[in-house]
Amino acid sequence: MKPEWADANITRAGWLVKVRQGAVLCAALALAGCSSGTLSGIEQSCESSGGLLSTNKISCSGSASAAKGQPSLDIIDTDGDLSGTYRLRASISVGEGTTKASVTADDGKQTGGTISPDKPLELDGIVSLDEDDEEVSLSLKTKGKTVKDIVYEATLTPAS
């Protein structure tokens, strides 16, 4: 026969494990929240040109009604079909607020600038993609303020 304190210790030990796991999960979510944000009202349309075995150009246009924090906005949808270096040309504007925006260039550095209603951002750079990349993303940093009416047009062509 098992002593009663054995069941109590097992129950307590299980509870402590669950509490510790919950604390780790909460800490992980808190860390993730430090570099994430929210986007709402996202719309996008894309078209590609080229043959069955190669894509010569992908053009996307889209919008988001609002952004806050440090969200990532997918401006080109590649569907994992591209591999190599490509020229990205994009124009991004906002209707209200100010945000910093950047993409990762093929040299691993961030390229971009600040966007405000009177100052749209024009990007022209080289990005590297492999077959695992599903999109080209624009990283936004709103400094806790809400940015509204984000509109973009982006084109991806093979780098020459």
CATH code of 49's domain: 2.60.120
User: Same domain for 23 and 41?
Assistant: no
Weakest-pLDDT range from 4-8, 18-22, 53-57, 148-152: 18-22
pLDDT in tens, 80-133: 778 889 999 999 999 999 999 999 998 889 999 999 999 999 999 999 988 788
What is the pLDDT at residue 26?
A: 34
Measured distance CA(154)–CA(104) in Å, rounded: 15
Query: Which token pair is 110?
Result: 């961030």
136, pLDDT greater than 70: yes
Indicate whether 82 and 5 sit together in one domain.
no
Q: Could you read off the pLDDT of 17-34 as tens digits, one per residue?
A: 333 343 333 333 333 334
Q: Count up the domains in the chain and report the number.
A: 2
Mean pLDDT rounded to a whole number for the chain:
80
Does residue 70 share a domain with residue 119? yes
* Domain limits for position 28: 1-34
CA–CA gap between residue 134 and residue 114 (Å, rounded): 25
User: Both tokens of residue 129?
Assistant: 């993609």
State residue 52's pLDDT score.
Answer: 56
User: What does the pLDDT read at residue 48?
Assistant: 86
End-to-end, the C-alpha distance of the chain in Å comes to 79
Beta strand segments in 7-146, E: 37-40, 43-50, 55-69, 72-77, 84-93, 99-104, 110-115, 121-129, 135-141
Locate tokens 């509870």: which residue?
A: 15
pLDDT at 152: 97
Please state, in angstroms and as integers, the Cα–Cα distance from residue 34 to each residue in 27, 30, 67, 94, following that order.
11, 7, 15, 23
Q: Are residues 28 and 66 in the same domain?
A: no
Is 68 found in the same domain as 138?
A: yes
Residues 59 and 29 in one domain: no
- The structure tokens listed for 122 are 């024009």
Query: Residues 47, 83: one domain?
Result: yes
Q: What does the pLDDT average to over 31-49?
A: 79
pLDDT at 141: 96
State whether 46 and 30 are in the same domain.
Answer: no
